[in-house]
Structure 1
Amino acid sequence: MPFMSIALPSATPSFQADLSALRADLVRARAARGPALDFGLPQIDARLADGGLDGTGLHEIAAASATLSDDAAATLFAAGIAARFAAKATSDVFWAMTAFDLYAPGLEQVGLDPGQILYAQGHKDSVVLAMAEDALRYGAMACVIAEVKAADMTATRRLQLAASDGQTPMLLYRRHRSRDRCPLSLPSSAMTRWRIGCLASERLSWPGVGRPRWQVELVRQRNGDPFSLELEACDAKGRLALPAAIADRAIARERAASNAA
């Protein structure tokens, strides 16, 4: 059979205009999601699909275990993120829960001023979730945090839509465990899902306690892969850091690669 050549029609001016309009719509849609909040660590930001946390999305957090230490680490991880969102937006944080047990000095240590938090308490999860949704749609909060025992797919979908509509980040702390089952094993509409656990701090050369360390695990993210890192806990500005020994090894690898090139 002889080969046949088919002449494709050239792009018409109307086609080019439609294509330009489509591209402009995509740019506006991405901009409407709000800028991502980076962690300031290439080891994290380079692995996140948006280069940081979507400022108009739902992000879930859970402790690695039911221990008080892991619970505190997960709480401070959320507070550190909220502190950086608050510094960026210069507005308050809305924090809803069923039992008020936040420790103000601990929040201050990760950069979140207790005076910047609007506290809300509900007698059950459905009330907490409803308050969080209202705060998201209000659109004036720097960040919304809710602590719940459980949230089904419908609840997380509503939070994600409210976060998008209100252009406000949502942190959902799935705080309580049932029979030691990780709450992140349940389905969710969250953009990212994080599991936080405590590690032993580095031994100091003098008597004292070193900077706390966490195992920070991204269990799931949209359009990206999971990963796990050993990091130093949030500092007074809510920022995580690589342990010194790991950072030194990373610098050494970069120098070796540069010399080899």
Structure 2
Amino acid sequence: MLSAIDGTGFRRRPVLPFGLERLDSKLADGGLRLDALHEISGATPDLTDDCAATTFLGGIAARCWGPVLWVVRRRDLFAPGLAQVGLDPKRVIYAEARDDDELLAIMEEGLRHRGLGAVIGEVKRLAMPATRRLQLVAEGGRTIALLLKRHAREGSDPLGAPSAAVTRWRIGCAPSAPLPVEGVGRPRWELSLARQRGGESFQLLVEACDATGRCALPAPLVARPRAAGRAARAAAA
């Protein structure tokens, strides 16, 4: 999971890949830098998108090493939901902050500790200097800093303000795969990377995190490259 030193002698930053080539290849670092700040928000203020963003965070934290510090402003974190995406509630240290300033201070302390796998905070607004402090504190370690930025009001954009975050994501719900029997298939998300340092933005449809914290490509997307490869081989024959 962790990259050490490359062949040129330069120390490479520790990275947590998603394990999906189509996704990791679009990220400048080949995954999420562990010594960095990343921001996630729901695509809309709708509760379903908010839940999708939360479980996306939970899946990332599940694949990190060690304990996870999760700082909240309201008591709505659902432990069984986190367990479904691989984050054992026994790994989570919960903290409740009075305001965003206290939340920021707790996150900074968690990142300085260097003994945590992930530090997560839930905010509505955070100014550029605050995100810069989080990024600076995270650098040099391997504790990933994750911010869940919630919609402050209808029509607002949680990712509209400038930020020092290395990546900024919007997570939206998408229709699940149809089943041959009555029921609901595996949830799907529309991942939208609004900004990344050193790379371009993109969108990708994925199936939601499973019990190991990993996303998957929908079956049609997996089959499409294989079908293209067979067609190319047939044409060359």
TM over 0.5: yes
Which is greater in Rg? 1
1:246 to partner: Cα distance: 1.8
1:258/1:193 CA distance change after superposition, 3 Å: farther
In structure 1, the residue matched to 2:205 is 230
TM-score normalized with structure 2 length: 0.93
TM-score normalized with structure 1 length: 0.84
**CA-to-partner distance for each residue in 1:183-242, whole Å, 9 max, x for gaps?**
111100011000000011111001111000110011100110110011110001011111
Q: Distance in 2 between matches of 1:214 and 1:71?
A: 12
CA contact (8 A) 1:138 1:166 kept: no
Q: Which has a greater percent of strand?
A: 2
In structure 2, the residue matched to 1:68 is 47
Secondary structure in 1 aligned to 2:171?
strand
Structure 1 ranges of 4+ moved more than 6 A: none
Q: Distance in 1 between matches of 2:231 and 2:170?
A: 33
Q: Distance in 2 between matches of 1:126 and 1:259?
A: 62
Consecutive unaligned residues of structure 2, counting only runs of 5 or more, are 1-7
Q: Distance in 1 between matches of 2:234 and 2:164?
A: 45
In structure 2, the residue matched to 1:243 is 218
Q: Distance in 2 between matches of 1:146 and 1:254?
A: 44
Structure 2 counterpart of 1:110, one-letter code: V
1:179 to partner: Cα distance: 3.4
**Which of 156, 163, 184 is the equivalent residue of 1:188?**
163
- Aligned positions of 1:61-210 closer than 5 A: 61-85=40-64, 89=65, 91-210=66-185
Number of aligned residue pairs:
229
CA contact (8 A) 2:34 2:144 kept: yes
**Which of 20, 34, 42 is the equivalent residue of 2:21?**
42
1:162 to partner: Cα distance: 0.9
**CA-to-partner distance for each residue in 1:138-180, whole Å, 9 max, x for gaps?**
1100111000111111000000011114431101110133332
Structure 1 counterpart of 2:106, one-letter code: M
Q: Which has a greater percent of helix?
A: 1
1:185/1:240 CA distance change after superposition, 3 Å: same
Secondary structure in 1 aligned to 2:16?
coil
